[in-house]
Amino acid sequence: MEYWVFVESLYNTTLSLCFFVLMSLMYYIGVKGYRAKNRYGGISSILCGISFLIFGYYNSVIGFFTYPWMGFLVWWIGMILILNLIFTTIIRMDIKKMKREVKNGTMREENAREKSVLRRYIRRMTKENPYREEIPFKMEIIRKSFHLSGFLVLIAYAGFFTIPPIASLVNDTLIIALQQIEPSYNFIWGNLSNYPFGLEDFQAVVEITMFALIATLVFVIISDIIRIVWGPEYSFFNFLTKSMLREKEKNAAGPQIYIITGFIFSYMLFMANIIPDVRVFFAGILIACLADASAALIGRRFGKRKVILRNKEVKSIEGFIAGVSVAYIIGLVFVGPIYAIMGALIFFLTDYLPSVTADNILNPIFIPIGIQLMVILLGLPIGWF
């Protein structure tokens, strides 16, 4: 076997193994959460684990990327692991130092005025319960702002008005940069002439968009696994987001894991041509992002007519109207008035019917699949023409 073919196979196998490892960890977390009577988080985490199993199988059989992009992703995983290990080491050292200061009487345990942001964070995580049954409205806004990631995926793939696809800009910039360091590239990755994409190459847009999705998943999930296994004070992502944790996330993955996993699953279906029209994918993820955020925020801020579901979760009629309306409008823009009905209907079913599974993972998967099934059954063109 040629050396660089072997290297490509090694990177691809490593990436598949990473998915299988994540699958095992999420299964462990899911069982842990379920046993801790967090059925919502436990089942949702296990569902993520099943998705990672599918991702690993898909990558081993078909492959998400052409060489060297799967290698770039493996390096990214390594760098994120190192970053998180450095952060956890710093936290451990600071905790030990704080305990010594308390023991020696140089700092009062409860009333000492902390010198740094990091120490205030540690004290808040270790002296208070970071998991809240209900978070303040301002924190809810910050949490839901993560749902704007759907727009980032759209801009990465399709651009925005005069802005070209970000994935295309990344590829073109990388090609120019690699030409400047060609000898180094040749040594690490093989002959630059074998780089798979050219300038303004559409296939580069497809693969780099998926690269961005999986890279984002890696960034948040490693930190979240550390939060669950070692404690929230050791989570770098938790530190960055100022710890906006809910009780549902105790012994379970956070909502950012669910929604990105759903994105990757649906985009994988697009790459595999199971969902051949990318507009169906974008309708699904944007409905999942914006309709859910609209329902939550409008319901929290203006919801007066409460609805208690069978799982005892409280919703509001105002939030329901906002969510379904936004879902239909987004569907109207991307897939036309007929298929928009299906998108809004699935959003309603997953978001408002009692469930023990996070709608953040169900919506971005089921909405594109539902719209695609309706396209097959009706045979009508997608969009307005």
Please report the pLDDT score of residue 246 as a whole number: 78
Report which of 253, 216, 218, 213 is spatially closest to residue 21, judged by C-alpha positions. 218
Report the alpha-carbon distance of residue 117 to residue 106 in Å, rounded.
Answer: 19
The CA-atom distances, in angstroms, between 340 and each of 160, 200, 293, 344 are 22, 32, 18, 6
Give the number of other Cβ atoms within 10 Å of residue 83's Cβ: 14
Report the alpha-carbon distance of residue 62 to residue 342 in Å, rounded.
Answer: 30
What's the DSSP call for residue 289? I
Locate tokens 């998400």: which residue? 64
Give the domain ranges of the chain: 3-274
| Omega prior to 130 cis, within 30 of 0 | no
The CA-atom distances, in angstroms, between 78 and each of 18, 74, 138 are 11, 6, 35
Report the alpha-carbon distance of residue 313 to residue 322 in Å, rounded.
Answer: 18
Query: pTM (2 decimals)?
Result: 0.92
**pLDDT averaged per 10 residues, the chain (length 385):** 88 97 95 88 93 97 95 97 95 86 64 67 79 70 72 89 90 94 93 92 94 95 93 89 76 89 96 94 92 81 68 71 90 93 90 76 93 93 77
